[in-house]
Every structure is written in structure tokens, then in C-alpha cells.
């Protein structure tokens, strides 16, 4: 009886798949690793974008505070500039308070939308996202009213104003305008996500993380407004 050891059979060597060329190859290379540090690429890229936006808003607000403390001309009183006349009496910061309430409330509806999305309740998730987008539209509409009142009635311009320091107009329009642009883009973003939810685009994969990623952007926009509200309107 032959007791010689039978040499192990080597596994077949599989040829590597042919690499795709052009844009398909580039997309395949970038999508081959879908997670980094246990975080999806979509969420990681959103955090990187928000971090870069944090630097921009920080520069704007630091520049505003530097100008305000260094100017020798009296700075306009926000309580008087942003007052609304109700029943013959001027109510300071009434419009700003309503704007803040609407935007902060939208964070709650967005958080509920994320919860519904992860429970695969796409109908309620889409409805809550639409409510969030509506709050954003209301906020932008009130901001447009605020701008028109300052420009047409108060005579505020980016290069000057009749109420005090000339830098007030440039700081106001730059900071609130840049934030309003973010809110407007966020409204479009949310409408697209809600439409795709209703159409069932995420049902096949079962991955509803896109709703959470959209929520990260919206919560960031709300958080930035808190700082603008505190430093520009209350200071």
C-alpha cells in the first residue's frame, strides 16, 4: 500500500477582473470602499463639507465682531432697527423671534423624519421633510421681507446707512444673505429627497441614510442661525 503523502491541490488562480476604463472606471474605484472608520462615505463627505462651512461662517462672524468693536461711529441698535409696528406700538425683534422659532422648529420635524425613515415609514418621513422644507421657505420669505424693509424704508445699503456705522449694511447683507442662501439650497435638497422617498428609490436597497445626511445639513443651518441671532441681533 502506497502511503506517500498526496500533495495538496493548489487552488485555481483567478485572473483579476478587467478594469473599467474612463468615467466608469473612476466611479468604480471610488465606490469600491463604501465606508471609512465605520462611517459611510456620504456621511463622511457631509461632515467634511460642514466643517469647511464652519470655517467660513466663523470668519464672517469674527470679522463682524472685529469691525463692530473697532469702529468709532455708533453702531445701530438692533432692537430699534429690526422692530415691527403692531397696533401702533413698536415691538423689538418680533420678526426675528418668529423667524428663529420657525427655523428651530424645523429641526424637530427633520429629526422625526429621520426616525420615520429608519423605520421604513417613507410616507410619514416624506411628509415631515416637506413640512421642514415649508418652514425653510417661510424663513426665507420673512428674511426677504426684512431685507426689503431695511432697503426701501430704512435706506440701508451695503456701503452705508443713515442710522450709524457704514459697516452695518455690509455685515448684515453678507452674513444673513450667505445663511439665507444655505437655507434656500437646503429647501431644494429636502424637496429632492422627499420626492425620491415618495417614489420609492430607497426601498430596493433599504438604505435610508440619505435622510440622515440631509438632516445633518439642516441641523447645521439651524445651529449657525443661533449664532447669527445671538451675535448680530442680541448684541
Rounded-to-integer distance, Cα 49 and Cα 63, Å: 21
Q: What is the pLDDT of residue 145?
A: 95
pLDDT at 14: 44
Phi, psi of 157 (to 5 degrees): -130, 160
Calculated CA dihedral for residues 172, 144, 54, 79, nearest 10 degrees: 50
pLDDT (tens, 9 = 90+) of the chain, 235 residues, equals: 455 555 555 555 444 445 456 677 656 655 555 555 567 888 889 999 999 999 999 999 999 999 999 988 999 988 888 888 888 888 999 999 999 999 999 999 999 999 999 999 999 999 999 999 999 999 999 999 999 999 998 888 888 888 888 899 999 999 999 999 999 999 999 999 999 999 988 887 778 899 999 999 999 999 999 999 999 898 8
Q: What is the pLDDT of residue 26?
A: 54
Beta carbons of 155 and 82 less than 8 angstroms apart: no
Which spans in 32-121 are helix H?
A: 41-70, 78-81, 94-118
Dihedrals φ, ψ of 226, to 5°?
-60, -40
Q: Hey, which bits of the chain come out as E strands? A: 35-36, 39-40, 84-86, 89-91
Cβ(125)–Cβ(117) below 8 Å:
yes
For domain 38-71+82-233, the question of CATH label 1.20.120.80 is answered with yes
Total-model pTM: 0.82
* Predicted pLDDT of residue 228: 96
- Domain segments of the chain: what residues? 38-71+82-233
> Could you tell me the three cell numbers for 55?
470655517
Q: What is the pLDDT of residue 29?
A: 52
pLDDT of residue 90: 86
Quote the pLDDT of residue 13: 47
How open is the CA angle 93-95-98, to the nearest 5 degrees? 105
Amino acid at each position: 500500500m502506497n502511503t506517500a503523502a498526496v500533495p495538496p491541490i493548489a487552488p485555481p488562480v483567478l485572473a483579476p477582473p478587467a478594469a473599467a476604463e474612463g468615467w466608469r472606471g473612476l466611479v468604480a474605484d471610488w465606490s469600491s470602499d463604501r465606508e471609512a472608520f465605520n462611517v459611510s462615505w456620504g456621511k463622511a463627505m457631509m461632515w467634511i463639507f460642514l466643517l469647511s462651512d464652519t470655517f467660513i461662517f466663523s470668519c464672517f462672524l469674527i470679522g463682524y465682531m472685529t469691525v463692530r468693536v473697532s469702529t468709532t461711529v455708533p453702531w445701530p441698535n438692533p432692537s430699534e432697527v429690526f422692530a415691527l409696528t403692531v397696533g401702533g406700538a413698536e415691538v423689538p425683534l418680533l420678526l426675528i423671534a418668529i423667524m428663529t422659532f420657525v427655523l428651530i422648529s424645523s429641526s424637530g420635524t427633520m429629526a422625526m423624519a429621520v426616525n420615520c425613515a429608519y423605520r421604513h415609514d417613507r410616507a410619514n418621513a416624506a411628509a415631515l421633510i416637506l413640512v421642514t422644507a415649508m418652514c425653510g421657505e417661510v424663513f426665507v420669505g420673512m428674511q426677504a421681507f426684512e431685507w426689503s424693509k431695511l432697503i426701501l424704508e430704512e435706506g440701508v445699503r451695503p456701503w452705508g446707512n443713515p442710522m450709524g456705522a457704514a459697516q452695518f449694511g455690509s455685515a448684515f447683507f453678507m452674513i444673513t444673505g450667505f445663511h439665507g442662501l444655505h437655507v434656500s439650497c437646503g429647501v431644494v435638497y429636502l424637496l429632492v429627497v422627499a420626492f425620491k422617498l415618495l417614489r420609492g428609490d430607497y426601498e430596493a436597497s433599504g438604505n435610508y441614510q440619505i435622510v440622515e445626511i440631509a438632516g445633518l445639513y439642516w441641523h447645521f443651518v439651524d445651529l449657525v442661525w443661533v449664532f447669527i441671532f445671538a451675535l448680530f441681533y442680541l448684541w
